[in-house]
Amino acid sequence: MNQDAARRNFRELAKLRGLTTKQIAETSGIVVGTLYNWLRESEPANLGTVALGRIADVFGIDVAQMFFYNVDDALDPEEQARARALRQIDDLLAGIDDPGEQARAAN
């Protein structure tokens, strides 16, 4: 089973909830290296149902919600508003040129 959507949602939920991968690993009882490898799509390329369930428990969602492409469905209204605001900030920042990059490009 392809777990790309679960990886995407893991990253987004962790960011929204202010949790690090290490904190999630410790809370879920999963070895932190296993989570890092899963996020990089190396070994293990896929986590088992039990591990995904433990991660989902940390986020307060069920395993099926780990696979929702639109993570907003798993968030309460306050978290949805925060997610929208963070996306808007990310979009604004993406449009700003890095002065260091501009200087290097000019040389």
pLDDT in tens, 48-86: 999 999 999 999 888 888 887 566 666 678 877 887 888
Torsions phi, psi of 61, nearest 5?
-125, 175
Better-predicted residue by pLDDT, 4 or 83: 4
Separation of alpha carbons 40 and 7, rounded Å: 9
The greatest distance separating any two alpha carbons of the chain, rounded to the nearest whole angstrom, comes to 53
pLDDT tens column, 13-46: 898 888 999 999 999 999 999 999 999 887 777 8
Structure token digits, residue 107: 């040389």
* pLDDT for res 1: 62
